[in-house]
Structure 1
Amino acid sequence: MRSNYVFTSESVSEGHPDKVSDQISDAIVDLFLSKDPEARVACETLTTTQLVVLAGEIRCKGVFENGEWAEGALAEIEKTVRDVVRKIGYAQDGFHWETFEFINRLHAQSAHIAQGVDASGNKDEGAGDQGIMFGYACDETPDLMPATLYYSHKILHRLAEDRHSGAAPFLEPDAKSQVTLRFENGVPVAATAVVVSTQHAPGYDTGDKEAQLKGYVKQVVTELLPEGFVTAETVFHINPTGSFEIGGPDGDAGLTGRKIIVDTYGGAAPHGGGAFSGKDPTKVDRSAAYVTRYLAKNVVAAGLATRCTIQVSYAIGVSKPLSLYVDTHGTGSASDADLEAAIAKVAADKLGGLTPRGIRVGLGLNKPIYGVTAAYGHFGREPEGDLFPWERTDLADALKAALV
């Protein structure tokens, strides 16, 4: 591993058009799981000027069965979608939660997919698709996340909090951030560059109002980054294109699943390619990415490595993973092969294995817990109640014991 380098990650706000789409798709997942824990959902969302379109495949008892919608279901779906946009804060001429056109093209799940995924007779529940999934953890932050992404998320989350509270009334929902850090001996020590582009109220692109906005952003960045990271050499680019009044879906179309690197590790680790939002937990794109993060985080939390990447792979309709791969990047206190064996044993003992059913039952994923994941990252979040169970570090002792 290189020990001295600079690295960059980006994040996008809850008002970014792709994130609006992700949040709508996950709100639909939560709605259906609240009605039926065994619901099957693959919901894609398109957002653009004054338009939201849903498309995808579903199955949900009491909501959509035998190709028919239950009474009131369509109205409840539309209300759910509008509530998401309202809570984000879009009430603009080009995208208004109350007046945008809504088109629902959700339809029944393919029977051929269902026969591979559903358990029947002696056949266990199979993976919802083929694919490779990765989990990652490192010791750069308290949440065991890459520092560049961690602070990129923190900046935008603070901007959103201040916008909602009224502390920064000149902010509008759409925003992006990018943080570049310098690493010495593998440890982040300074910010070399910070980029923040935020949608703003009219007039905040010139004169005193522009200075107010830029001063506010610099203050937020300085407060959130560790002391000493922002120096006289730190380069700031705040709204570098100039005006940013037209934003969100009115400025750029949004689609579910286009911000997968923002959702995961900011480029510091591989990504299997599958998006998370809009998918129920039988889809291993989502659930296996969560469990590999869970296992990698526990490896680092246990002090068995300072950096850990885990990969698993699946075939559609097949319950057991085809492979398990562990890489501690030369930082492990045990061999990667021994860690693979320990992880497989602990996963079997504590989760019932790395099958789709073992993952979703072991982590408690068949619950309406996904709306909060769809902005500011699926990882590095605080586990609370049913939320973010893959962020717990309750396997650390078991992993250490399995290596004895």
Structure 2
Amino acid sequence: MTPHHPHGAQKRLFTSESVTDGHPDKMADQISDAVLDGVLTKDPLGRVACETALCTGTVLVFGEISTDAYVDIPGIVRQTIRDIGYTRAKYGFDFETCGVLVSIDEQSPDIAQGVNTGGAGDQGMMVGFACDETPELMPAPIQLAHRLARRLSSARRDGTLRWARPDGKTQVTVEYDSDGRPRRVDTVLVSVQHSEEVSSEQLFADVQEHVVNPIVPAEWLDAETKRYVNPTGRFVVGGPQGDAGLTGRKI
């Protein structure tokens, strides 16, 4: 998220991004979450520190798991990828044919000793607060980016955007007034993986009609709002084929 203060103006711009479930980093998050769910379903006292990495045709699941239950990790991985929508090789990734490598050890006894007494096995520092810009109590840029990403994914799944593929990203820049209140959307950017056949003109028109306009409040859009769809011009190669994915890189 990048704040920007135009010189001599009593306004500021703030940008946030979100990704769809088919983005490789988000795929990694979902696989790790699914492994955790699989363990806790069978063993509520299980301990899971599971990381996932993806690249072309390959998924690596690694980390530490302490449980007495048997969990079919490769099966969980393939089912998660199938649910995301990578079901055909022409999408760049296929849940049936991808390689799944699993390297799991039991939790270190040194770490386990600390978890037994303290209840947490890692350190971290988080900063955040609620605000009244949206019903979700989130800042407007990230709320809009998340909603656009969800809408993009649902429009692919329900067949509204028949040319859409699972990978995608949204980015929203909101202009704030001198009192720190959101007043308009300065920029909306949507990147979406697509089939070979669709034209850039249809891409732009469909995304505006079925994704942007239903989500972004009309009063926040004006003639000066900048709208971009796949600004690099082409997004056929996507998912883990186009970029490596790793757990924890996306909020």
Does the alignment pair 1:53 with 2:60?
yes
* Residue 75 of structure 2: aligned partner: 79
* Residue 232 of structure 1: aligned partner: 223
Deviation at 1:128, TM superposition (A): 1.3
Name which of 9, 19, 25 aligns with 2:32.
25
Deviation at 1:23, TM superposition (A): 0.4
Which of the two has higher C-alpha Rg? 1
Name which of 93, 115, 118 aligns with 1:117.
115
Q: Distance in 2 between matches of 1:245 and 1:55?
A: 30
The runs of at least 4 aligned residues of structure 1 exceeding 3 Å deviation read none
Question: Quick one: which amino acid aligns to residue 151 of structure 1?
Answer: L
Does the alignment pair 1:107 with 2:97?
no
Question: Quick one: which amino acid aligns to residue 85 of structure 2?
Answer: G
SS of the equivalent of 1:138 reads coil
Contact 1:11 1:176 in 2 (8 A): yes
* Residue 283 of structure 1: aligned partner: none
Contact 1:35 1:60 in 2 (8 A): no
Deviation at 1:169, TM superposition (A): 0.7
Q: Distance in 1 between matches of 2:109 and 2:88?
A: 41
* Residue 189 of structure 1: aligned partner: 183
Structure number with greater CO (CA < 8 Å, separation at least 6) is 2
Contact 1:181 1:188 in 2 (8 A): yes
Contact 1:190 1:229 in 2 (8 A): yes
Deviation at 1:213, TM superposition (A): 1.4
* Residue 296 of structure 1: aligned partner: none
Contact 2:39 2:69 in 1 (8 A): no
SS of the equivalent of 1:9 reads strand
Deviation at 1:98, TM superposition (A): 0.7
Name which of 40, 43, 46 aligns with 1:36.
43
* Identical-residue share of aligned pairs (%): 47
Does the alignment pair 1:173 with 2:160?
no
Question: Quick one: which amino acid aligns to residue 217 of structure 1?
Answer: V
Structure 1 stretches lacking a partner, 5+ long: 64-72, 120-124, 264-404
Deviation at 1:22, TM superposition (A): 0.5
The total of aligned residue pairs comes to: 239
* Residue 200 of structure 1: aligned partner: 194
Deviation at 1:97, TM superposition (A): 0.5
Deviation at 1:62, TM superposition (A): 2.3
Deviation at 1:178, TM superposition (A): 0.5
Structure 2 stretches lacking a partner, 5+ long: none
Q: Distance in 2 between matches of 1:118 and 1:215?
A: 56
Does the alignment pair 1:253 with 2:244?
yes
The 5-angstrom pairing of residues 240-389 of structure 1 reads: 240-259=231-250, 263=251
